[in-house]
Amino acid sequence: ADELIDVYLAKGGYTGGTKGTAIVDSPTDYDISVEYPAAGGNPASVLYVAIRRRHDNFFAIVFQTRPDEYPVLKPTFQASAGSLLVAPP
């Protein structure tokens, strides 16, 4: 998750974020939120980052919202990420 957040999301302009504590942390699933301040004309935002390991591959799902909406949307993000279905190759 750190590489996705610190390298790949940074390439997309997401820098200076504050990582929350892990929301889901298991051998195959990892979810965390990252809050970004307003910067460069972009509003403040919260990303819900979900990493899933399925069939020896890693999948990343990223949801974005405003900080004031995050508490309401967090359960929906978590349920949606938890429903990822990947058929065997």
Strand partners, 63: 48
Number of domains making up the chain: 1
User: Based on C-alpha coordinates, what's the Rg of the chain?
Assistant: 13
Whether 88 is in a domain gets the answer no
> Tens digits of per-residue pLDDT, 34-73?
999 999 888 999 999 999 999 999 999 999 999 999 999 9
User: Which domain does 42 fall in, by range?
Assistant: 2-79
Domain of residue 56, CATH code? 3.10.450
Instruction: Return the pLDDT at 64.
Output: 97
pLDDT classification of 1: cutoffs 50, 70, 90: confident
- Return mean pLDDT, the chain: 94
